[in-house]
Amino acid sequence: MEAMYAFFMDKAGMGQAGAHVTVAAIMATLMFIVMALCALVFTWMERKVAAFLQSRWGPMRTGRWQGWAQAVADMLKILGKEDIIPAEADKALFIFAPLLVLLGSLLAWAAIPWAPGFVAADLDLGLFYIFAVSSMVIIGILMAGWASNNKWALYGAARGAAQMVSYEIPLALAAIPVVMYTGSLNTQDIVIAQQGGIWNWFIFRNPFLFVSFFLYFVASIAETNRGPFDMPETESELVAGYHTEYTGMRFAFFFLSEYANLFLVSMIAVLLFLGGWWAPIPGLDFLPAALTFVIKGVLMVFLNMWVRWTLPRVRVDQLMHLCWKVMIPAALICTVGAGLWMMASGAAG
């Protein structure tokens, strides 16, 4: 990043402001491209992982090798689909909702530290910022469900809002012990604090952090609306939930955002608990930092998919029960416990 600033200021002769704008524009474009690519790769991966778990092949023909081009073909197909807005829908909201959902995921990507110094928005409140902007997805989903003027969509949206608002709490609570250890909300600082091999990763620092990791993981599945917590969609109950009425590219935006969010929460898990860009053992140091980070993220995504294709769906009231009566108390205990542990071990600053 510094190199980029230096390049634009010195070599290209821009002022400081000009360099900032240019770098921001480059990073934003880059993030968007990476995000779109992620969605493509992960849809393909999801289909292959699901197929693997379900003793079938998944896509095998498009693009010859393991049907790698299937996702591309799907995207092209979806671009060619008729864009339908129901006559009774609230047109403005209906159009705006998918954009808002996508925006929420995209904004959060800005604070992801891919490698030392390489982060689009190096914010001191990074983690806070990520949790804050990713909440915009909820508004988008509510908007989509309401604007569709469809009962299934409304039910999906109401469930989605209830679920995501609730699960934000354990999600954030699970991150608090990490922040306590680091003493910073800056995502780079959090990763740097985990330097020095796998035992310095926050997940293995103490038992409370270990539990926090699993709390975070479960809450993150709920945040991304994926099985077993896919309440807003529940295709067997609510037809297709909040996006029942969406077609073509607008539907693709929801789809894109689901996978962008999936990778986002996985990367946050990596940066909070799994050592960010640090290699687990010294021998793997030769890998570029960003690659290490992405590999860990993809493994988390795989874990997420594994869970999705293994477990049945919980019922909507059981989902709430799990959140408010199990996970939030557990997360609070972990926060207090981690604090006490820090005091006892003298790690507190």
Which spans of this chain sit near another protein (rule: CB under 8 A)?
A: 50, 53-56, 151-152, 155, 227-228, 230, 234-239, 309-318
Closest contact distance (angstroms) between CB of 155 and another protein is 7
Q: Which is nearer to another protein, 205 or 313 (CB)?
A: 313
Tell me phi and psi for residue 249, to 5 degrees: -65, -35
Q: Which is nearer to another protein, 11 or 56 (CB)?
A: 56
Q: Which is nearer to another protein, 126 or 160 (CB)?
A: 160
Alpha carbons 48 and 146: distance in angstroms, whole number: 34
Closest contact distance (angstroms) between CB of 314 and another protein is 5
Q: Which is nearer to another protein, 104 or 156 (CB)?
A: 156
Closest contact distance (angstroms) between CB of 234 and another protein is 7
Within its chain, how far is the Cα of 151 from the centroid? 28
Alpha carbons 8 and 207: distance in angstroms, whole number: 47
Q: Which is nearer to another protein, 229 or 277 (CB)?
A: 229
| Residue 326 DSSP label | I
Longest Cα–Cα distance of the chain, Å, equals: 64
Closest contact distance (angstroms) between CB of 312 and another protein is 4
Q: Which is nearer to another protein, 50 or 332 (CB)?
A: 50
Closest contact distance (angstroms) between CB of 265 and another protein is 20
Residue 79 to residues 31, 189, 250, 307, 328, Cα–Cα distance (Å):
21, 41, 9, 30, 42
Closest contact distance (angstroms) between CB of 233 and another protein is 10
Contacts of 114 (CB under 8 A, 6+ apart): 277, 289, 290, 293, 294
Alpha carbons 335 and 170: distance in angstroms, whole number: 11
Alpha carbons 201 and 198: distance in angstroms, whole number: 5
